Protein backbone atom coordinates (compact mmCIF):
# COMPACT_ATOMS: atom_id res chain seq x y z
CA UNK A 1 0.00 0.00 0.00
CA UNK A 2 1.35 3.46 -0.84
CA UNK A 3 1.28 6.20 1.76
CA UNK A 4 -0.95 9.14 0.83
CA UNK A 5 1.04 12.35 0.64
CA UNK A 6 -0.53 15.79 0.93
CA UNK A 7 -0.14 18.29 -1.89
CA UNK A 8 2.35 20.57 -0.17
CA UNK A 9 5.62 22.15 -1.15
CA UNK A 10 8.77 20.29 -0.09
CA UNK A 11 10.22 21.35 3.24
CA UNK A 12 13.96 21.50 3.83
CA UNK A 13 14.66 19.33 6.86
CA UNK A 14 17.83 18.84 8.82
CA UNK A 15 17.39 15.70 10.89
CA UNK A 16 18.80 15.65 14.40
CA UNK A 17 18.97 11.84 14.31
CA UNK A 18 18.68 9.38 11.40
CA UNK A 19 15.05 8.68 12.36
CA UNK A 20 13.75 12.20 13.00
CA UNK A 21 13.34 13.66 9.51
CA UNK A 22 9.81 12.28 9.01
CA UNK A 23 7.53 10.70 11.59
CA UNK A 24 4.06 9.21 11.44
CA UNK A 25 1.96 9.53 14.61
CA UNK A 26 -0.88 7.45 16.06
CA UNK A 27 -3.24 7.70 19.01
CA UNK A 28 -6.52 6.16 20.16
CA UNK A 29 -9.27 7.24 22.52
CA UNK A 30 -11.23 4.27 23.80
CA UNK A 31 -13.92 2.90 26.09
CA UNK A 32 -11.52 1.78 28.83
CA UNK A 33 -8.04 0.70 29.86
CA UNK A 34 -8.22 -3.07 29.29
CA UNK A 35 -6.65 -3.69 25.88
CA UNK A 36 -8.53 -6.97 25.37
CA UNK A 37 -12.07 -5.76 26.03
CA UNK A 38 -11.97 -2.00 25.34
CA UNK A 39 -13.14 -0.56 22.04
CA UNK A 40 -11.93 2.27 19.82
CA UNK A 41 -13.95 5.50 20.01
CA UNK A 42 -11.70 7.91 18.11
CA UNK A 43 -8.32 7.77 16.41
CA UNK A 44 -5.75 9.80 14.57
CA UNK A 45 -2.93 8.84 12.22
CA UNK A 46 -0.79 11.66 10.85
CA UNK A 47 2.55 12.57 9.32
CA UNK A 48 4.98 15.19 10.65
CA UNK A 49 8.15 16.57 9.16
CA UNK A 50 11.33 17.00 11.16
CA UNK A 51 10.16 20.38 12.46
CA UNK A 52 6.91 18.93 13.84
CA UNK A 53 4.72 20.46 11.11
CA UNK A 54 1.65 18.39 10.21
CA UNK A 55 1.87 17.28 6.59
CA UNK A 56 -1.06 14.89 6.57
CA UNK A 57 -3.65 13.58 9.02
CA UNK A 58 -6.67 11.30 9.17
CA UNK A 59 -9.18 11.32 12.01
CA UNK A 60 -11.85 8.78 12.86
CA UNK A 61 -14.91 8.68 15.10
CA UNK A 62 -16.30 5.19 15.60
CA UNK A 63 -19.52 3.75 16.93
CA UNK A 64 -17.90 1.12 19.17
CA UNK A 65 -21.05 -0.96 19.34
CA UNK A 66 -21.10 -0.82 23.17
CA UNK A 67 -21.92 1.76 25.78
CA UNK A 68 -19.11 4.20 26.46
CA UNK A 69 -18.63 4.31 30.24
CA UNK A 70 -19.09 7.69 31.91
CA UNK A 71 -15.51 7.53 33.18
CA UNK A 72 -14.22 7.26 29.60
CA UNK A 73 -16.49 10.05 28.37
CA UNK A 74 -15.17 12.25 31.18
CA UNK A 75 -11.65 11.74 29.79
CA UNK A 76 -12.15 12.22 26.04
CA UNK A 77 -15.54 13.95 25.93
CA UNK A 78 -17.25 11.52 23.53
CA UNK A 79 -20.59 10.14 24.72
CA UNK A 80 -22.38 6.99 23.61
CA UNK A 81 -25.05 9.15 22.02
CA UNK A 82 -22.57 11.14 19.95
CA UNK A 83 -20.66 8.04 18.88
CA UNK A 84 -23.87 6.37 17.72
CA UNK A 85 -25.09 9.46 15.89
CA UNK A 86 -21.82 10.58 14.26
CA UNK A 87 -19.50 7.59 14.39
CA UNK A 88 -18.89 5.15 11.57
CA UNK A 89 -19.14 1.36 12.01
CA UNK A 90 -16.30 0.05 14.17
CA UNK A 91 -15.27 -2.63 11.66
CA UNK A 92 -14.82 -0.02 8.92
CA UNK A 93 -12.85 2.31 11.20
CA UNK A 94 -10.55 -0.46 12.44
CA UNK A 95 -9.83 -1.61 8.88
CA UNK A 96 -8.99 1.94 7.78
CA UNK A 97 -6.71 2.59 10.76
CA UNK A 98 -4.82 -0.65 10.17
CA UNK A 99 -4.46 0.10 6.45
CA UNK A 100 -3.20 3.63 7.12
CA UNK A 101 -0.62 2.43 9.63
CA UNK A 102 0.44 -0.48 7.44
CA UNK A 103 1.18 2.01 4.67
CA UNK A 104 3.62 3.92 6.84
CA UNK A 105 5.28 0.80 8.22
CA UNK A 106 5.64 -0.68 4.74
CA UNK A 107 7.26 2.57 3.60
CA UNK A 108 9.77 2.36 6.48
CA UNK A 109 8.44 5.53 8.13
CA UNK A 110 8.69 5.36 11.96
CA UNK A 111 5.35 5.63 13.76
CA UNK A 112 5.36 7.53 17.06
CA UNK A 113 3.01 6.05 19.67
CA UNK A 114 3.16 7.23 23.27
CA UNK A 115 2.91 4.10 25.43
CA UNK A 116 2.78 1.96 22.29
CA UNK A 117 1.79 -1.35 23.96
CA UNK A 118 -1.58 0.11 24.92
CA UNK A 119 -2.63 1.44 21.51
CA UNK A 120 -1.11 -1.34 19.42
CA UNK A 121 -2.38 -4.15 21.66
CA UNK A 122 -5.89 -2.71 21.74
CA UNK A 123 -5.81 -2.26 17.96
CA UNK A 124 -4.71 -5.89 17.58
CA UNK A 125 -7.67 -7.16 19.61
CA UNK A 126 -10.08 -4.87 17.76
CA UNK A 127 -8.72 -6.19 14.46
CA UNK A 128 -9.34 -9.79 15.52
CA UNK A 129 -12.79 -8.87 16.84
CA UNK A 130 -13.82 -7.37 13.48
CA UNK A 131 -12.07 -9.93 11.23
CA UNK A 132 -9.47 -7.42 10.03
CA UNK A 133 -5.98 -8.76 9.30
CA UNK A 134 -3.99 -7.30 12.23
CA UNK A 135 -0.62 -5.61 12.07
CA UNK A 136 2.05 -8.24 12.60
CA UNK A 137 5.35 -7.13 14.16
CA UNK A 138 4.79 -3.40 13.47
CA UNK A 139 8.21 -1.89 12.85
CA UNK A 140 9.66 0.69 13.36
CA UNK A 141 7.84 2.19 16.33
CA UNK A 142 9.04 5.23 18.30
CA UNK A 143 7.69 5.31 21.87
CA UNK A 144 8.62 8.58 23.60
CA UNK A 145 7.59 7.17 26.98
CA UNK A 146 10.17 4.36 26.78
CA UNK A 147 12.88 6.60 25.33
CA UNK A 148 12.33 9.37 27.89
CA UNK A 149 12.61 6.89 30.76
CA UNK A 150 15.80 5.45 29.27
CA UNK A 151 17.43 8.84 28.58
CA UNK A 152 16.38 10.58 31.83
CA UNK A 153 15.96 7.66 34.21
CA UNK A 154 16.09 9.49 37.51
CA UNK A 155 13.84 12.47 36.74
CA UNK A 156 11.12 12.67 39.36
CA UNK A 157 7.45 13.17 38.62
CA UNK A 158 4.86 11.74 36.30
CA UNK A 159 5.67 10.37 32.83
CA UNK A 160 2.28 11.01 31.24
CA UNK A 161 2.12 12.63 27.81
CA UNK A 162 1.01 15.87 29.44
CA UNK A 163 4.00 15.80 31.81
CA UNK A 164 6.42 14.95 29.00
CA UNK A 165 5.03 17.72 26.80
CA UNK A 166 5.48 20.21 29.63
CA UNK A 167 9.02 19.01 30.35
CA UNK A 168 10.12 19.22 26.70
CA UNK A 169 8.30 22.47 25.94
CA UNK A 170 5.69 20.98 23.60
CA UNK A 171 2.26 22.59 23.45
CA UNK A 172 -0.65 20.27 24.29
CA UNK A 173 -3.86 22.24 24.58
CA UNK A 174 -6.45 19.47 24.06
CA UNK A 175 -5.18 16.49 26.05
CA UNK A 176 -7.11 13.25 25.37
CA UNK A 177 -8.14 14.34 21.91
CA UNK A 178 -6.66 11.68 19.62
CA UNK A 179 -5.32 14.18 17.11
CA UNK A 180 -3.85 16.54 19.70
CA UNK A 181 -2.25 13.68 21.60
CA UNK A 182 -0.79 12.02 18.50
CA UNK A 183 0.75 15.25 17.22
CA UNK A 184 2.07 16.20 20.66
CA UNK A 185 3.66 12.75 21.01
CA UNK A 186 5.42 13.22 17.68
CA UNK A 187 6.72 16.61 18.75
CA UNK A 188 7.88 15.20 22.09
CA UNK A 189 9.82 12.54 20.15
CA UNK A 190 11.47 15.26 18.08
CA UNK A 191 12.27 17.25 21.24
CA UNK A 192 13.86 14.17 22.81
CA UNK A 193 15.95 13.77 19.66
CA UNK A 194 17.17 17.35 20.00
CA UNK A 195 18.05 16.96 23.69
CA UNK A 196 19.51 13.45 23.57
CA UNK A 197 20.62 13.25 19.94
CA UNK A 198 24.10 11.94 20.74
CA UNK A 199 22.62 8.95 22.57
CA UNK A 200 19.98 8.30 19.90
CA UNK A 201 22.15 8.59 16.80
CA UNK A 202 20.93 5.31 15.28
CA UNK A 203 18.50 4.45 12.52
CA UNK A 204 14.83 3.72 13.21
CA UNK A 205 15.20 -0.06 13.09
CA UNK A 206 18.03 -0.04 15.62
CA UNK A 207 16.11 2.35 17.85
CA UNK A 208 13.12 -0.01 17.67
CA UNK A 209 15.36 -2.86 18.87
CA UNK A 210 16.84 -0.74 21.64
CA UNK A 211 13.42 0.28 22.92
CA UNK A 212 12.36 -3.34 23.30
CA UNK A 213 15.33 -3.89 25.60
CA UNK A 214 14.80 -0.64 27.50
CA UNK A 215 11.13 -1.48 28.05
CA UNK A 216 12.06 -4.89 29.46
CA UNK A 217 14.64 -3.29 31.77
CA UNK A 218 12.05 -0.75 32.95
CA UNK A 219 9.50 -3.51 33.62
CA UNK A 220 12.09 -5.51 35.57
CA UNK A 221 13.00 -2.45 37.63
CA UNK A 222 9.34 -1.66 38.37
CA UNK A 223 8.63 -5.26 39.32
CA UNK A 224 11.59 -5.29 41.68
CA UNK A 225 10.42 -2.03 43.30
CA UNK A 226 6.85 -3.29 43.74
CA UNK A 227 8.00 -6.59 45.23
CA UNK A 228 10.27 -4.81 47.70
CA UNK A 229 7.76 -2.18 48.77
CA UNK A 230 4.19 -3.40 48.23
CA UNK A 231 3.52 -6.89 46.90
CA UNK A 232 6.03 -9.74 46.90
CA UNK A 233 4.07 -11.51 44.15
CA UNK A 234 3.70 -8.54 41.78
CA UNK A 235 4.38 -9.30 38.09
CA UNK A 236 4.98 -6.36 35.73
CA UNK A 237 3.56 -6.33 32.23
CA UNK A 238 6.15 -7.02 29.57
CA UNK A 239 6.36 -6.96 25.81
CA UNK A 240 6.92 -4.06 23.43
CA UNK A 241 5.53 -2.64 21.18
CA UNK A 242 2.62 -5.14 21.34
CA UNK A 243 1.59 -7.18 24.38
Name the least confident of 10-24, 63-77, 106-120: 10-24
Long-range contacts from 209-214, C-beta under 8 angstroms, 24+ separation: 210/150, 211/141, 211/142, 211/143, 211/146, 211/147, 211/150, 211/240, 211/241, 212/240, 212/241, 214/146, 214/147, 214/149, 214/150
C-alpha pair distances (Å), 83 with each of 87, 157, 172: 5, 35, 24
Count the residues in the chain: 243
- Is the pLDDT at 8 greater than 50? The verdict is no
What is the model's pLDDT at position 14?
Answer: 53
* Cα 71 from chain centre: 21
Cα–Cα dist 154/3, whole Å = 39
Measure the N-to-C terminal CA separation of the chain; round to a whole number of Å: 25
CATH of 22-203, one of 3.30.450.20, 1.50.10.20, 3.30.420.10, 3.40.50.300: 3.30.420.10
The residues, ordered by sequence, that sit 6+ positions from 202 with a Cβ below 8 Å of its Cβ are: 17, 18, 19, 210
**Whole-number percent of the chain with pLDDT over 70:** 94
What is the model's pLDDT at position 202?
Answer: 97
What is the model's pLDDT at position 83?
Answer: 98
CB 124, CB 242: distance < 8 Å? yes
What is the model's pLDDT at position 173?
Answer: 86
- Is the pLDDT at 5 greater than 50? The verdict is no
Mean per-residue pLDDT over the chain, rounded: 94
What is the model's pLDDT at position 15?
Answer: 75
> Burial letters for 149-172: b for 16+ Cβ neighbours within 10 Å, e otherwise?
bbeeeeeeeebebeebbebbebeb
- Is the pLDDT at 2 greater than 70? The verdict is no
Give me the helix-helix angle, 144-151 and 204-229, nearest 10°. 70
* Cα 213 from chain centre: 18
Mean pLDDT, rounded, for 40-68: 98
Cα–Cα dist 209/110, whole Å = 13
CB-CB neighbours of 88 under 10 Å: 13
Burial (0-12, 13-18, 19+ Cβ within 10 Å), 14? exposed
**117-147 pLDDT, tens per residue?**
999 999 999 999 999 999 999 999 999 999 9
**71-123 pLDDT, tens per residue?**
999 999 999 999 999 999 999 999 999 999 999 999 999 999 999 999 999 99
What is the model's pLDDT at position 175?
Answer: 85
Amino acid sequence: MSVVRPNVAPVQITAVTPWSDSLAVFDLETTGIDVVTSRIVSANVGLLNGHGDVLHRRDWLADPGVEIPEQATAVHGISTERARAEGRPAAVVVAEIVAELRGYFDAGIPVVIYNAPYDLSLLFHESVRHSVAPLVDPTPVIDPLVIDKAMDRYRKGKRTLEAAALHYGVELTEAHDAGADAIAAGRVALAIARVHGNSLDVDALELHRLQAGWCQDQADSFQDYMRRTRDATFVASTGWPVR
